[in-house]
Amino acid sequence: MKLFAPKETCAGERRVALVPAAVARLVKLGAEVEVEAGLGETLRESDAAYTEAGATISHDRRASLGSADMVLRLHKPPVDEVGLLKQGAIHVSYLDPFNDRPLLEALAAAGVSAICMEMIPRSTLAQKMDALSSQANLAGYLSVVLAAGQLGRILPMMMTPSGTIPPARVFVIGVGVAGLQAIATAKRLGARVEAFDTRPVVEEQVQSLGAKFVKVDLGEMGETKQGYAKQLTEEQLEKQRQVMAKHCAQSDIVITTAQLFGRPAPVIVTDEMVRGMRPGSLLVDLAVETGGNVEGSKVDEVVEVDGVRILGYSNLPGHAAVPASEMYASNLANLIEHFWDKDEKGFRMDPADELQQGCLLTHGGAIIHESFKPAASDDAS
């Protein structure tokens, strides 16, 4: 089976889908691995490092896309490259399926089996393939480190003969994978940390990291079967904002990570709340790419409101492209190893398998995933 990893085409992306260590694992399985020349440039990995790991180097992207049995990438494919893929090829990448239906239709029409990395199930079995988690973990870390570098203050308490500096206060809103790592990082740097999430199960996790959980009585809450947050009503959100306002006002750094899977992020910190914060303090909006948790945040911009800065970094994991690529490549290798058929020396497609049911969106010329299948009425027309 021939696997091919093309260079990413997304502007500014420094992460890649395959690193040499993952190539070596795949070659050991019995796969033939090809990577586009210069794939590792952004990581300072030479083509030679990939060949030493057992890959061959392609200087003809279109030909390699057309001959590969499986294409591995980070970002969704440009739609004009879908037609180059071989009928029956497997394509593995992020696909942004809730926002890009034309791409799903193109993949189905091309007879490609598309595995979507955002849809890897949140199960114990699939944890090692979960790219959303591996990347969110780095985003959480980087949100604190980048904010700390721009704050103009320090995070730990310092007691010196020249005086005592109190610890900075960090408030984390949304305690999923990124939020937990943000709390752990801020604690390690010596900050006083508070956090809030609408899922009640999170309280214990926050406390176990030595942070304080902010309590808000929002009535009925909970989480979906996949472990994601449920959407709040407008009244619940308003109640949440009232409590958050007080904690934002006394914080030096506010980090928001509150997302709703497949839907726009809720606006939690309003313009009025931002204006209620001390000049010099910072917000980092990790949800900026899905609409933002902070009113006024802008993708890849620093917005200043009455001396308070809102940092709207997109692609935070890209700021640590080496570990982010290592983890993503490892997620891919784990997925491939899991379904590798030793006798056939190939990836075993099995749309009935529970894990593949979760993440296989197109197969056999159709969109087959329950969440994206054309409605029955569309079928009839």
Tokens representing 187 are 């604690």
Q: Of residues 42, 134, 257, 290, which one binds ligand NAD by CB under 6 A?
A: 257
Count CA atoms within 13 Å of residue 13 on its CB side: 16
Q: Of residues 170, 229, 274, 308, which one binds ligand NAD by CB under 6 A?
A: 229
Minimum distance from residue 57 beta carbon to ligand NAD (Å) = 35
Residue 228 annotated as catalytic: yes
Strand partners, 212: 194
Span near ligand NAD by CB under 6 A; candidates 110-118, 194-202, 330-338, 359-367 = 194-202
Q: Which of 61, 67, 122, 341 is catalytic?
A: 122
Contact 111, 288 (CB under 8 A): no
Q: Of residues 210, 227, 279, 307, which one binds ligand NAD by CB under 6 A?
A: 227
Minimum distance from residue 195 beta carbon to ligand NAD (Å) = 9
Q: Binding pattern to ligand NAD, positions 262-301, x when CB under 6 A?
A: ----x-x---------------------------------
- Residues 54, 167: Cα–Cα separation, whole Å: 50
For the purposes of burial, counting CB atoms within 10 Å of the CB of 105, is it exposed (0-12), middle (13-18) or buried (19 or more)? Answer: middle
Strand partners, 160: 163
- Strand 366-367 relative to strand 360-363, pairing: antiparallel
Residue 281 annotated as catalytic: no
For the purposes of burial, counting CB atoms within 10 Å of the CB of 2, is it exposed (0-12), middle (13-18) or buried (19 or more)? Answer: middle
Count of residues in contact with ligand NAD, rule CB under 6 A: 31
Q: Which of 123, 127, 205, 357 is catalytic?
A: 127
Minimum distance from residue 94 beta carbon to ligand NAD (Å) = 14
Which runs of E-coded beta strand occur in the chain? 2-5, 32-36, 56-58, 70-72, 90-93, 113-116, 158-160, 163-165, 169-173, 192-196, 212-213, 253-256, 282-285, 302-305, 308-311, 340-341, 346-347, 360-363, 366-367
Residue 130 annotated as catalytic: yes
Q: Which residue is nearest to ligand NAD (CB)?
A: 176
Q: Binding pattern to ligand NAD, positions 114-133, x when CB under 6 A?
A: --------xxx--x--x-xx
Q: Binding pattern to ligand NAD, positions 138-177, x when CB under 6 A?
A: -----------------------------------xxxxx
Residue 127 annotated as catalytic: yes
Q: Rounded to whole angstroms, what are the CA distances from 250 to 147, 193, 195, 303?
A: 16, 11, 13, 20
Contact 272, 244 (CB under 8 A): no
Residue 113 or residue 240: which is nearer to ligand NAD going by CB? 240
Q: Of residues 45, 118, 197, 326, which one binds ligand NAD by CB under 6 A?
A: 197
Instruction: Give the CA angle between residues 142, 124, 364 to the nearest 5°.
Output: 95
Residue 8 or residue 130: which is nearer to ligand NAD going by CB? 130
- Residues 175, 186: Cα–Cα separation, whole Å: 13
Amino acid occupying residue 61 = R
Q: Which of 50, 94, 113, 130 is catalytic?
A: 130
Minimum distance from residue 259 beta carbon to ligand NAD (Å) = 4
Just list the catalytic residues: 122, 127, 130, 133, 228
Using CB under 6 A as the criterion, which residues of the chain lie in contact with ligand NAD when the complex forms? 122-124, 127, 130, 132-133, 136, 173-179, 196-199, 227-229, 232, 240, 257-261, 266, 268
